[in-house]
């Protein structure tokens, strides 16, 4: 997959993961293990975008 397509896919995954994390945090609290894990996964996606951009 070319760079722009890969970036678009990652940005979509970030958007979805962020929404999921916020919903979980709303119901479970920000320190719940499920929310923390979701945050960790979001960090990984964000780091991938940073790697593509740099």
DSSP-assigned states of every residue in 1-54: --HHHHHHHHHHHHHHHHHHHHHHHHHH-TTSHHHHHHHHHHHHHHHHHHHHH-
Closest among 8, 5, 33, 4 to 21, alpha carbons compared: 33
Note the pTM of the prediction, 2 decimals: 0.86
Q: What is the pLDDT of residue 51?
A: 84
Q: Is the pLDDT of residue 53 over 80?
A: no
11-51 pLDDT per residue, tens: 999 999 999 999 999 999 999 999 999 999 999 999 998 88
- Cα–Cα distance measured from residue 12 to residue 7, given in angstroms and rounded to the nearest whole number: 9
């Amino acid at each position: 997959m070319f760079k722009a397509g890969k970036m678009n896919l990652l940005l979509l995954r970030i958007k979805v993961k962020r929404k999921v994390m916020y919903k979980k945090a709303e119901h479970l609290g920000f320190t719940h293990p499920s929310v923390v894990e979701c945050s960790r996964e979001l960090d990984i996606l964000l780091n991938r975008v940073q790697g593509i951009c740099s």
